[in-house]
Amino acid sequence: MLEVFKISMIAFMFVALGEPDEIFAWYRRLIDPLPLWLNKPLGGCGMCFGGQLSFWYFLFTHEYNLIDHLFFVSLTIFLVNIYSLIWNYENP
């Protein structure tokens, strides 16, 4: 279960550091012209990116159980949202 915290933090920081003047701004500029259905899961949205990372991570590393899979992805998205709220509170 510790994996969820790791994945959610990686996803959040990757997207947060894609803001202008940050280290991954070049990547954000690269994916910005893409349609939203492709842009968001590739790093345009923290929750979408985190959901994709956790979805595929779970499939490749765990014995499949639908409820566990849904919980894993949902908790990752929830944690990314919490990190975002904290980040925006500290950095308005």
CB 80, CB 52: distance < 8 Å: no
- Please state, in angstroms and rounded to a whole number, the distance separating the CA atoms of residues 19 and 28: 7
Q: Measured between alpha carbons, how far is 63 from 21 in angstroms, rounded to an integer?
A: 41
What does the buried/exposed string (b/e) look like for 30-49 if buried means 16 or more CB atoms within 10 Å of the residue's CB? eeeeeeeeebbbebbbbbbb
One pLDDT digit (tens) per residue for the chain, 92 residues: 899 999 999 999 999 999 999 999 999 999 999 999 999 999 999 999 999 999 999 999 999 999 999 999 999 999 999 999 998 886 66
The total number of structural domains that make up the chain: 1
List the domain range (segments joined by +) for residue 26.
2-90
